[in-house]
Amino acid sequence: MQTPISRSRLSNLIGRTAAVTFLAAAGTLGLHAQQSAGTASSLPTIDLKASLAAPLDLSTPTDLNYSSSVGTEETANAETFLTNSDDASQPPPRRRYSRPNYNDSRTNPDGSSKYTFVAGGGFTLPTGGSHNYLSPGWKFQVGGGRNFNKTLGVLVQFDYDHFGFQTNTLNNLLAIYNSLGATDQNGNPLTQLGGSSHVWSFTVDPVINYYTSDTWGAYVTAGLGFYHKTANFTIPGIGESCDPFYGCFQYQANQTIDKYTSNSFGLDGGIGFTYKFSRFAGERFFAEARYVWTDNQPRPFDISGATSYFNAFPQNSARTTYIPVTFGVRF
């Protein structure tokens, strides 16, 4: 006797059967479509072995251009290296760089300024026989020149070196003038004598900078030039000046009673030091000391009046030596 199937079990059986039938039909249709496409057209084949055997094109593309000489040089170095090197996998050698080269109108190739200027002042010290009649004084200096590099340069300088006279020199001359009957503006014998001496010069001075750093420097110098030496002797006097609005008035002034000049060539040489407040500054403060020798030609003492000249002070035409010490700035 058969057992009757319930309605619920019958529904489950029908659903499973439908699902299996649907999946079978879909698989059959997909296989049929694949076979149809294969017969309609065949897929292209790639010969991988032939592709790998072909040589590689390592040439530079024609649209790749370099616009600078640096790129051209580096490319040439790289090609040369790849050609000559045993190991082409190594990178090309680095380009060698040299020191910077300056080529403008005011700078030397080593970076130093082509032109230099100097200004300063200081004091003077007579030496040797000059110390017997001259006393220390003051000076000022200006100049300019050309630097050929950081080490060597040349200056053209103007120096004015001022001196006083020793007291015994003035007393001796005062006695000589009184013995000759000299008088002041009032007709009285001279009671006081003053005076000064100076040497102005134009010199050409090579300079060698034997030490240079960012802050300090040292140099030596020596030169040749023309020297003009003057001695001027004065007595106190009274001057008078008149003005149309304020009238005339008198003032104290020195009156020249005797003067001597002498020209000669001379030599100088010395040492100096420089200092910069900043390594980027172009100005340098300097201090230097020189020794000066002038080749004056002696003139004899003569106050007789029998010759064509009067010379109560032959020391002015004697050879002169002194040390000028100068402080200033170079730029």
pLDDT tens column, 188-228: 999 999 999 999 999 999 999 999 888 999 999 999 999 99
3-class SS of residue 128 = helix
27-58 confidence digits (pLDDT tens) = 554 545 444 444 444 445 555 455 555 555 55
| Distance in angstroms (rounded) separating the CA atoms of residues 120 and 286 | 9
Domain count, the chain: 1
Residue 312 zone, left/alpha/beta (φ > 0; ψ -120 to 50; rest): alpha
Work out the number of other CB atoms within 10 angstroms of the CB of residue 11.
Answer: 9
Does a structural domain hold residue 234?
Answer: yes
Does a structural domain hold residue 46?
Answer: no
Does a structural domain hold residue 220?
Answer: yes
The answer to whether the CB of 328 falls within 8 A of the CB of 118 is yes
Give the pLDDT band (50/70/90) at residue 154: very high
> Residue 201: which domain range?
120-330
Is the model more confident about 323 or about 64?
Answer: 323
Residue 185 zone, left/alpha/beta (φ > 0; ψ -120 to 50; rest): alpha
Does a structural domain hold residue 237?
Answer: yes
Does a structural domain hold residue 293?
Answer: yes
What mean pLDDT value characterizes the chain? 80
pTM of the model: 0.67
Beta pairing, strands 115-126 & 137-147? antiparallel
Does a structural domain hold residue 20?
Answer: no
- CATH number of the domain bearing residue 326: 2.40.160.20
The answer to whether the CB of 220 falls within 8 A of the CB of 270 is yes
Does a structural domain hold residue 189?
Answer: yes
Residues ≥6 apart with Cβ < 8 Å to 117: 143, 144, 330, 331
3-class SS of residue 232 = strand
Own/partner contacts of 315-318, CB < 8 Å, gap of 24 or more, are 315/132, 315/133, 315/169, 315/231, 316/197, 316/229, 316/230, 316/231, 316/260, 316/261, 316/262, 317/260, 317/262, 318/129, 318/130
Does a structural domain hold residue 130?
Answer: yes
| Distance in angstroms (rounded) separating the CA atoms of residues 229 and 197 | 7
256-313 confidence digits (pLDDT tens) = 999 999 999 999 999 999 999 887 777 899 999 999 999 999 999 999 888 888 999 9
- Beta-bridge partners for 288: 272, 326
